[in-house]
Amino acid sequence: MIIAMSIEATEEEIQHVIERVEECGFKAHVSRGAERVVIGAVGNNQRRHELEALRAAPGVEEVVPIAHPFKLVSLQFKRERTVVEVAGVRIGGPEAVVIAGPCSVESREQILQTARAVRHAGAHMLRGGAYKPRTSPYDFQGLGIEALRLLTEARAETGLPVVTEVMSTEDVETVAEHADVLQVGARNMQNFPLLRRLAKTPRPILLKRGPSATVKEWLLAAEYLLSGGNERVILCERGIKTFETELRNTLDLAAVALAKELSHLPVIVDPSHGTGRRSLIAAASRAALAIGSDGLIVEVHPCPERALSDGQQSLDLTEFSRMMRDLTAPLPKLAPSFALAC
Ligand code: PEP
Ligand code: MN
């Protein structure tokens, strides 16, 4: 249930409603917007009618059920868009943000060279995998703690905040010490113990959509983070499995628009995993921004043919710089309209 307080509600009236919600066995989540306070009563029991009766309490404007299974994530609960701020970079505001870097951190030279180049080309944040979720156990698994130290060094030199994946609950503390944003990989989107643990970290979370997850399941995964106490969540569309075999994944751009229609959380797009082909990354990135994505996360490597993971979908440094230059070029003009001709 959402209990929307009136614009004139006093702090006392707000506190009274919070107490009543808790007395009824629900958890009260308070969203303080610029204009009004909204209290989300989240939980599941037989006392919903008592919440409905709060319509009569002083300061209450309306009591309405939240229509979706996800509650705190929904735009119905929080009507102002969430902006996640990471060391001065604002994700979800009016300007799009670009995160770039290699799939995996492979060496000091590789990550520093990439960090300098992507910064020069205009990227706002650095990505780089330290712990890699690989389909085969024989593939490169990441440099672990050594990669985290190299990312810290790259941040110190370039000033770019760092995004890196955390795969297990045991690593959360260590990764959070080194990274500015913790990525939940697509394969871990429904790793509920990991989500519960990440709800308790002070770091923002980049939550990738699972390859077979519906938008509802993706938003419910985000709900684990918000309901556990972490409101700094960035959603990331990275392509889903379909019958198409020519592409690694099918980039579901409509899901980006839908997620933004349903939720107040920022949504970004990963065109690298979303297409699996470097030739399509620039076009997919422009399309992502056109549909309303709040940003991009792109794989970049100084020498993609030598990359230890995902070389085929990584831009080299020159290609990335070109992509950045063309990213916001105007769309093609429309052909003359019949309306003007008459
Ligand atoms: C990655 O970002 O390198 C990665 C493994 O992403 P995903 O979880 O989307 O496959
Ligand atoms: Mn990758």
The predicted-structure confidence for 224-249, as pLDDT tens digits, reads as follows 999 999 999 999 999 999 999 999 99
How far, in Å, from the CA of 130 to the mean position of ligand 1?
A: 12
Ligand 1 atom 10, closest CA: 186
What is the per-residue DSSP string for 101-130?
E-SB---HHHHHHHHHHHHHHT-SEEE-BS
Ligand 1 atom 2, closest CA: 103
In angstroms, rounded to a whole number, what is the distance separating the alpha carbons of residues 156 and 228? 31
Q: What is the reported pLDDT for 76?
A: 92
How far, in Å, from the CA of 83 to the mean position of ligand 1?
A: 23
Distance (Å) of CA 257 to CA 218, 234, 242, 288, 289: 14, 14, 19, 9, 10
- Smallest CA-to-CA distance from 184 within 198, 170, 173 is with 198
Q: What is the pLDDT of residues 35-83, one digit of tens each?
A: 889 999 998 878 889 999 999 999 999 999 988 999 999 999 999 999 9
Quote the tokens at residue 302. 């100084």
How far, in Å, from the CA of 132 to the mean position of ligand 2?
A: 8
Q: What is the reported pLDDT for 45?
A: 78
How many CB atoms neighbour CB 54 within 10 A? Answer: 20
Helix H segments across the chain?
11-23, 48-52, 108-121, 145-158, 172-178, 192-198, 215-227, 253-262, 271-275, 278-291, 317-326, 338-341
How far, in Å, from the CA of 72 to the mean position of ligand 1?
A: 26
**Which is it for strands 233-237 and 267-269: parallel, antiparallel or unpaired?**
parallel
Nearest atom (ligand 1) to Cα of 104: 3
Nearest atom (ligand 1) to Cα of 188: 8
In angstroms, rounded to a whole number, what is the distance separating the alpha carbons of residues 67 and 288? 28
pTM here is: 0.95
Q: What is the pLDDT of residues 276-290, one digit of tens each?
A: 999 999 999 999 999
In angstroms, rounded to a whole number, what is the distance separating the alpha carbons of residues 77 and 67? 10
Nearest atom (ligand 1) to Cα of 208: 9
**Is 43 in contact with 78 (CB distance < 8 Å)?**
no
What is the per-residue DSSP string for 310-332?
-GGG-B-HHHHHHHHHHTTPPPP
Q: Which ligand is nearest to the CA of 276?
A: 2
How far, in Å, from the CA of 239 to the mean position of ligand 1?
A: 10
- Smallest CA-to-CA distance from 85 within 164, 259, 220, 202 is with 202
Identify any residues that bridge with 190 across adjacent strands, giving them in sequence order. none
How far, in Å, from the CA of 335 to the mean position of ligand 2?
A: 40
Ligand 1 atom 6, closest CA: 185
Quote the tokens at residue 17. 């409603």
- The more confident residue out of 33 and 315 is 315
Q: What is the pLDDT of residues 260-310, one digit of tens each?
A: 999 999 999 999 999 999 999 999 999 999 999 999 999 999 999 999 999
The type of residue at 18 is I
Q: Which of 99, 189, 191, 238 should be mutated for ligand 1, with most atoms under 8 A from CB?
A: 238
The single residue listed with the structure tokens 């520093």 is 112
Quote the tokens at residue 277. 């082909």
The interaxial angle of helices 108-121 and 317-326, nearest 10 deg, is: 20
Ligand 1: list residues with CB < 6 Å. 103, 129, 133, 185-187, 208, 238, 270, 273
